[in-house]
Chain A
């Protein structure tokens, strides 16, 4: 599918003070552009263990423990996330959402594709590579890390299904999905810089004088 959707940062919202609502929340909306190439096909997986997520009352909350950013998705976006979590292949996800609406399939497909791209760019999703089982004996482990480096990492087939009770319901009318991004807590993930280490005394004793 020809990708004609791009990303526009629409506004920033300060969720902490509630006054200007202008600093912390970046709402990403999707506008028609010509510059984004088609995504490679293939299965998707959650970028575990960096990303934790919950879907509740049709709203999905995503937390990236590596970057300190967190996100929310509603409606079609939450539905797409659920399909991706279930290990859906990108084409399958597009087709599934297209089948739910009378809207022009190209419009629906481009909006969903743009969301998937955004989820990949934010490293909330990752392309699932072939597992050792898929590739046969001696195949490369997923994401190229040494065996055992990430004991909690899972491939789509290993990812347990999410509780069905929290599955979001789709809105009757198609609304292009929006990924809400919040960055007001990234300070918690920063590590203080340490300088002027006194080697003889051992880190982190600060060099005298």
Chain B
């Protein structure tokens, strides 16, 4: 991504980072610490919440990824389970890396005793997706999510990430379904591992990567597979390891459904949840981990890329070029998480070169979609041609 010359706001970032880390510690002392550890592939991340409210809002999607909760032997996102740890010294900056690959410190502005620190940058200091303009390869990075003014500051060297939100009540619905994506990007991404805008489903034969922009049919196909008892990793976002072979790893135990999904697969209509007073375009959230625990798997080796396109009528499957797969996979990922200057594109091209691709015209019958995924996996395992 374009990162024009360092601004005065970026110059102030190191001091702001230290002050903000102190603010988190003081807020935890004022409330209490709710901490837990979650794992993604071979990495673990410690989440240190100040108070329960934010933890209760953000932790449910991570339930299948939870290792343990501080002071408790088992992860539990309810408030009662987490009042275990306190911070003895309010001025102590959190120990970033003890036992974990990264630590994310989380709190609300409204809980900060004496008032939250003002943000030392302005809109003009921000590049796409709220990245504070600064030199490429910086150890210190900041992302400002302008929709609701959450800020995420990352010390890449220390593995410490600070995430402050104004108020849990202002969290957008998607943050409750697929939370902390900028933080997870910095905590989990690397040369051969990327947060990718894609879904993944499969079975014992392996998985297919569902590639496409929003509205292309990724969730429709993923839900059809889930309803049919296939293994589910994601409908929208996942962690993709690209070396030595592509493997899709689960990030969130949720799926996001719109009215069309509910109409196609009515069995999810009664169990998906939505806000009492939903905003425009808000989606229902399906607790896949809770409702279909057996189907949610930590990972699937990727055998093929499927590019769905909402079509109507009968579904149809046909081979596609690697270029079609990359065109479906790379831009939406690069634009939604542009913090690596597009480095993800080369990795996705490697994946597109390594597995076959198929175009799936998504028809009205969900059973046909399941049949199409089954046919893809049969094809790649047996080496036969798509009928």
- Residues in chain A near residue B213, CB distance under 8 A: 15-16, 184-185
- The CA of A166 and the CA of B3, in the complex, are separated in Å by 29
Check A19–B334 contact: CB distance below 8 A.
Answer: no
Instruction: For residue A15, give the distance in angstroms from its CB to the closest CB of chain B.
Output: 7
Interface size, B (range): 35 or more
- Residues in chain A near residue B343, CB distance under 8 A: 52
Asked whether B168 is an interface residue with its Cβ less than 8 Å from the other chain, the reply is no
CB nearest neighbor in A for B128: A189
Asked whether A138 is an interface residue with its Cβ less than 8 Å from the other chain, the reply is no
| Interface residues in B1-58 (C-beta closer than 8 Å to A) | 1-5
Check B146–A16 contact: CB distance below 8 A.
Answer: no
- Residues in chain A near residue B330, CB distance under 8 A: 54, 61, 63, 70
- The CA of A70 and the CA of B4, in the complex, are separated in Å by 21
Q: Among A29-37, A109-117, A169-177, A199-207, which stretch is in contact with chain B? A: A199-207
- The CA of A146 and the CA of B312, in the complex, are separated in Å by 54
Asked whether A144 is an interface residue with its Cβ less than 8 Å from the other chain, the reply is no
Check B1–A65 contact: CB distance below 8 A.
Answer: yes
Instruction: For residue A154, give the distance in angstroms from its CB to the closest CB of chain B.
Output: 12
Q: Would A56 and B146 be within 8 Å (CB), given that A49-B2, A65-B334, A184-B213 are in contact?
A: no
Select which of B136, B310, B345 is within 8 A of A63 by beta carbon: B345
- Residues in chain A near residue B335, CB distance under 8 A: 63, 65, 68, 185, 188-189
- The CA of A66 and the CA of B341, in the complex, are separated in Å by 10
Asked whether B189 is an interface residue with its Cβ less than 8 Å from the other chain, the reply is no
Binding site of A, secondary structure by majority: helix, strand, loop or mixed? loop
- The CA of A74 and the CA of B1, in the complex, are separated in Å by 25
Instruction: For residue B169, give the distance in angstroms from its CB to the closest CB of chain A.
Output: 15
- The CA of A166 and the CA of B326, in the complex, are separated in Å by 13
Instruction: For residue A85, give the distance in angstroms from its CB to the closest CB of chain B.
Output: 14
Instruction: For residue A152, give the distance in angstroms from its CB to the closest CB of chain B.
Output: 5
Check A56–B349 contact: CB distance below 8 A.
Answer: yes
Check A57–B123 contact: CB distance below 8 A.
Answer: no
Check A57–B322 contact: CB distance below 8 A.
Answer: yes
Most chain B beta-carbon contacts within 10 A, residue among A50, A184, A203:
A203
Asked whether A18 is an interface residue with its Cβ less than 8 Å from the other chain, the reply is yes
Check B130–A191 contact: CB distance below 8 A.
Answer: yes
- The CA of A59 and the CA of B341, in the complex, are separated in Å by 21
Asked whether B205 is an interface residue with its Cβ less than 8 Å from the other chain, the reply is no
Instruction: For residue A29, give the distance in angstroms from its CB to the closest CB of chain B.
Output: 19
Asked whether A105 is an interface residue with its Cβ less than 8 Å from the other chain, the reply is no
- Residues in chain B near residue A145, CB distance under 8 A: 5
Interface residues of A (CB under 8 A from B): 15-19, 49-50, 52-54, 56-59, 61, 63, 65-66, 68, 70, 72, 74, 145-146, 149-152, 166, 182, 184-185, 188-189, 191-194, 201-205
Excluding A52-B345, A145-B5, 4 further A-B contacts by CB distance (< 8 Å) are A54-B326, A59-B324, A65-B1, A66-B1
For this complex, 11 residue pairs linking A to B, each with C-beta atoms less than 8 Å apart, are A15-B213, A49-B136, A52-B342, A52-B343, A52-B345, A56-B353, A63-B334, A65-B128, A191-B128, A202-B118, A202-B119
